[in-house]
């Protein structure tokens, strides 16, 4: 993780500074034309899996809007940001008076990123909109991602969405829109982004200086640049191998494999790979549930679906209350090894 950009994966480009976007041409064209029509919605919910370019798209569109404040005269397409332009420099440095980026803040005591976007962050949006823009330009808030808002923060954002200020725009990012308040979703225009196809993913990785990767990485990355970086730079591939070893072994061998995996996931500075593990376990259990349902094994499918809910809740609670991570991982692995009927 970058110390200057909390949450930024090693090898990635900060979305506000990224001049390229791959695989989402249709979404870009829709946003450009929708804005140009003058009938643009004040809140756009950009949905899709993590690491596929939602934040980059949001900042590109914000750059487009702030560079062309009059919708009628705006270009029909969104072009790559010009790093030399004043708007691009201000956005990239976080110094724009017309754009606010809301994300999980850093805890001053621990130096780590907090587990949620708090109401204090949302209050920044209220202050942001209360200040008069010297240029009369749009005011844009990027919520990245809105899934991370706690209940108080979500309710506070909802109040602003219900009565948005003039020339205000919200770009609401979500990895899992089902986690958002229905009232927030109902006040946003949904824009769904799909995982990148292999060609777009290879182009995005080449833009980061990563070339020559084969099909195994592309398959494991599931169309996400973020997942690819976790596999390449954080030992994600080794975590998957260790997880498979736990599932394929029994007795003392399995117990040893569980301890090794839990140790690797509970060390210092392991938050990124722990999140990767949580996502992988969830995907694995749900894929097995879908397979069982497809084969007509309804009882097994229901058991696995319950297991998914149980382990997801356990991991979420453990992270929220800073419980012993190794113990939680051991419990989760034991439940996966011996799912209850």
Paired strand residues for 142? 101, 171
Largest Cα–Cα distance of the chain, in whole Å? 69
Architecture category of domain 25-194 in CATH:
3-Layer(aba) Sandwich (3.40)
**pLDDT tens profile 208-218:** 999 988 889 99
Contacts of 150 (CB under 8 A, 6+ apart): 116, 117, 118, 119
Q: Report d(CA 129, CA 261) in Å as an integer.
A: 47
pLDDT at 167: 92
| pLDDT value at 10 more than 60 | yes
DSSP state of 8: P
Residue among 298, 81, 70, 61 at smallest CA distance from 171: 61
Tokens standing for residue 289 = 């549930």
Report how far apart, in Å, the C-alpha atoms of 76 and of each of 28, 54, 155 are: 10, 20, 35
**pLDDT tens profile 280-325:** 999 999 999 999 999 999 999 999 999 999 998 898 888 777 789 9
Q: Report d(CA 72, CA 193) in Å as an integer.
A: 26
- H/E element, 330: helix 325-337
**pLDDT tens profile 184-198:** 999 999 999 999 999
Overall residue count recorded for the chain in this entry: 341
**pLDDT tens profile 136-189:** 789 999 999 999 999 999 999 999 999 999 999 999 999 999 989 999 999 999
């Amino acid at each position: 993780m970058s110390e200057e950009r909390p949450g930024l994966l090693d090898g990635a480009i900060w979305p506000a500074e990224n001049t390229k976007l791959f695989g989402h041409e249709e979404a870009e064209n829709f946003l450009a034309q929708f804005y140009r029509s003058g009938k643009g919605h004040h809140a756009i919910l950009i949905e899709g899996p993590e690491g596929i370019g939602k934040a980059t798209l949001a900042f590109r569109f914000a750059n487009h809007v702030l560079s062309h404040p009059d919708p009628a005269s705006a270009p029909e397409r969104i072009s790559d940001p010009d790093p030399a332009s004043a708007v691009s420099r201000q956005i990239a440095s976080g110094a724009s008076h017309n754009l606010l980026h809301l994300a999980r803040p850093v805890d001053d005591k621990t130096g780590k990123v907090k587990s949620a976007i708090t109401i204090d962050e949302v209050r920044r949006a209220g202050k942001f909109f209360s200040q008069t823009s010297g240029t009369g330009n749009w005011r844009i808030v990027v919520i990245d991602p809105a899934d991370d808002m706690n209940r108080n923060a979500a309710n506070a954002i909802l109040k602003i969405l219900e009565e948005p200020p003039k020339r205000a725009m919200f770009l609401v990012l979500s990895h899992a829109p089902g986690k958002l308040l229905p009232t927030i979703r109902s006040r946003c225009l949904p824009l769904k982004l799909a995982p990148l196809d292999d060609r777009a993913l290879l182009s995005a990785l080449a833009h980061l200086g990563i070339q020559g990767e084969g099909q195994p990485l592309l398959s494991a990355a599931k169309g996400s640049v973020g997942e690819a970086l976790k596999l390449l730079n954080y030992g994600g591939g080794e975590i998957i191998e260790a997880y498979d070893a736990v599932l394929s072994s029994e007795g003392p061998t399995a117990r040893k494999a569980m301890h090794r995996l839990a140790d690797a996931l509970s060390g210092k500075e392991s938050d990124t790979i722990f999140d990767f593990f949580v996502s992988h376990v969830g995907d694995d259990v749900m894929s097995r549930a879908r397979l069982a349902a497809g084969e007509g094994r309804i009882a097994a499918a229901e058991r696995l679906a319950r297991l998914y809910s149980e382990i997801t809740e356990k991991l979420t609670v453990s992270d929220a209350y800073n419980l012993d991570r190794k113990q939680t991982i051991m419990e989760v692995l034991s439940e996966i090894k011996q799912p209850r009927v």
